[in-house]
Structure 1
Amino acid sequence: MCRWLAYAGSPVLLDDILYKPAHSVIDQSLHAKMGVETTNGDGFGIGWYEPGSGRAAPAVVRDTGPAWNNRNLREIAGHVRSPLFFAHVRASTGTAVQQSNCHPFRRGRWMWMHNGAVKDFDRLRREMCLAVDPALFASIEGSTDSEVMFYLALTFGLDQDVPGAVARMAGFVEGLGRDHGIENPLQMTIAVADGRQLWAFRYSSRGRSRSLFYSNRVDSVRTLHPNLALMRELSDDTRMVVSEPVGDLPGVWNEMPEATYTVVPSQDGDYAPFTPVPA
């Protein structure tokens, strides 16, 4: 499995989020506490939108080596400031360690990353790929279930309705799994962004999903920890979603319940129910 972090809010230097906090996502690449594997060294990736870029395509940097000792990643993090970015450290579930299999994945303005697996993907892969819109299929570069899930979501209308498209993707995978006699075929925490908003999903067929947490409102964290300098720079609607908590401060993190999703920024509360829809 993997560890990931998604940030949306006031522009911030990537280094302030990726490296400086205790138990940062870079530290988690070597010392994860809540993942299936302690070490997530099968590649990494970051993707970010430039301030004011709206829905322009994000920049993406991916590599097959571990994140914890990559000098280029450290250099980028110290110079890039972004209002919306992803970071992912990979532990392969069986597919090759190659750049095209590292997250996040990108098409146009969309960015996507995943932790989890499609059970028995080797048995389902052909039919999953055949369900991808032919106009999109040639853009699939790697061999992971995660990338095919992304292109299925694009096929099922990600441009028009993000939660609906992800629900149809999940419903399609579960239906295909049942047709092949595969029990509990889907395990996923997913982050997806379009340059203006971030959506994060937690779901599994078994109802025992991989860990996922979202941060409290900045004004609440600021009240709890008034000496935390970074909090003075951030807008109240700034949020992070992470595979496991970053930092060591109490009152910052909330676990997302099973079968829910969240969107940042949003006026509709912290999370909403997520239910797969047969596609």
Structure 2
Amino acid sequence: MCRWAAYRGEPLYLEDIVSSPAHSLITQSHSATEAKTATNGDGFGIAWYGERETPGLYRDVLPAWSDCNLRSLARQIRSPLFLAHVRAATSGSTRRDNCHPFVHGRWSFMHNGQVDNFEKLRRPIENLLPDHLYAARKGTTDSELIFLLALHFGLESEPLVALREAISFIERLAEHYGLVPDVRFTSAVSDGQRLFAVRYATTNHAPTLYAAPMGAAGGYCLVSEPLDDDRANWVGIPDGSAVVIGPEGLDVHVFGPETEANDGIQRAAK
């Protein structure tokens, strides 16, 4: 499983999360403590927001611990909102287009988890995408495809509803093909103004997610693993939850896919 971290609040340097803490994201890339494997060396990426509408994006296939450019950039870039990810590949080869975060317009997305039987579901999911979203697909991962599917389901207007419908569609599509649905999904997505995160799994074994205040008042960090040993500062986000961080602070909501998500399944299965 991958490791990731995201932040929204007053601008701070990326290094405050990516490289400086005792259990920074770079440290987690080779010494994760709450993942199935300690090493997440199949690439990394950062998407950050500044004065432009669309985010900056830096990704590479090198392990995060061995890229000196990453440490240098993290020391220099300040941002009020950024997503950072280190990858342990479960779907898709090790190439830059498969490294998270994924960006489309002003939206950025990253994911920890996987879709079981993805290779059997990939083509019917792709068939559902409209031409402009299908053309936007650059890599081969289940994560990028979930992002594009959520955009199709209305991510730009109702982010959590769109993510819920995308997951529900995949689960019901698996049932349609006689497969056991199994989606593990701990993700973050942002439009540059708000930060959304979801922790969900079909089997109630979702990858971990924690939250803690950071930076000036009103700033929050979301992580796969705490960045330090001060566990009292980190709150575990329950399975089946969605987090929204905006100007008003942090809110946690119940998250679960709709039971009625049949639209498009027959069309996608053709």
In structure 2, how many angstroms separate the alpha carbons of the residues matched to 1:94 and 1:192? 19
How far has the Cα of 1:235 moved from its partner? 2.6
**How many Å separate the matches in 1 of 2:7 and 2:235?**
15
More off after superposition, 173-182 vs 186-195: 173-182
Provide the aligned C-alpha RMSD in A.
1.3
Identical columns (%): 41
For the 8 Å contact 1:184–1:204, the answer to whether it is kept is no
Q: Distance in 2 between matches of 1:148 and 1:250?
A: 34
Q: Which residue is equivalent to 2:36? A: 36
Aligned position for 2:243: 262
241, 248, 251: which one pairs with 2:222? Answer: 241
Question: Counterpart in 1 of 2:8?
Answer: 8
Q: Contact 1:19–1:26 at 8 Å: present in 2 too?
A: yes
In 1, the alpha carbon distance for the partners of 2:15 and 2:54 equals 22
Other-structure match for 1:47? 47
The amino acid that maps onto 1:235 is A
Q: Aligned partners of 1:68 and 1:259: how far apart in 2?
A: 32
Per-residue deviation at 1:78? 1.1
Give the alignment of 1:28-107 within 5 angstroms. 28-50=28-50, 52-53=51-52, 56-107=53-104
Structure 1 segments (4+ residues) deviating >6 Å: none
Match of 1:204 in 2: 201
Q: Distance in 2 between matches of 1:15 and 1:266?
A: 23
Per the TM alignment, residue 156 of structure 1 is displaced from its structure 2 partner at its CA by 0.3
Q: 1:119–1:186: 8 Å Cα contact kept in structure 2?
A: yes
Cα distance, 1:250 vs structure 2: 3.6
SS of the residue 1:270 aligns to = strand
Give the alignment of 1:136-147 within 5 angstroms: 136-147=133-144
User: Structure 2: which amino acid aligns with 1:89?
Assistant: V
AA in 2 matched with 1:34: E
**Contact (CA 8 Å) 1:184, 1:205: kept in 2 or not?**
yes
Choose which of 121, 124, 128 in structure 1 pairs with 2:118.
121
Amino acid corresponding to residue 27 of structure 1 in structure 2? T
Q: How many residues align?
A: 260
CA distance in 2, matches of 1:235, 1:267: 14
Deviations 1:183-239 (A, max 9, x none): 232110010000001000000000111111111x45xxxxxxxxxxxxxxx332100
Superposed CA deviations along residues 22-76 of structure 1, whole A, max 9, x for unmatched, are 11111000000001111000000011001x44xx000011000100010111111
Write the distance in 2 (CA, Å) between the matches of 1:129 and 1:258: 28
2:172 is matched with 175
> Could you tell me how far apart the structure 2 residues matched to 1:205 and 1:111 are?
24
Give the direction of change, closer, same or farther, for the CA distance of 1:266–1:184 in structure 2 (3 Å limit): farther
TM-score (norm 2): 0.93
Any stretches of 5+ residues in structure 1 without a counterpart?
A: 219-233
TM-score by length of 1: 0.90
Residue matched to 2:254: 273
1:104 Cα offset (Å): 0.2
Does the 8 Å contact 2:9/2:218 carry over to 1?
yes
* Residues 1:28 and 1:265: Cα distance change in structure 2 (over 3 Å): same
Structure 2 unaligned segments of length 5 or more: list them.
264-270
Letter in 2 for 1:236: A
Kindly provide the amino acid, as one letter, of the partner of residue 149 in structure 1: I
Inter-partner Cα distance in structure 2 for 1:87 and 1:268: 21
What aligned pairs does 1:153-232 form with structure 2 within 5 A after superposition?
Answer: 153-215=150-212, 217=213
The secondary structure found in structure 1 opposite 2:207 is coil
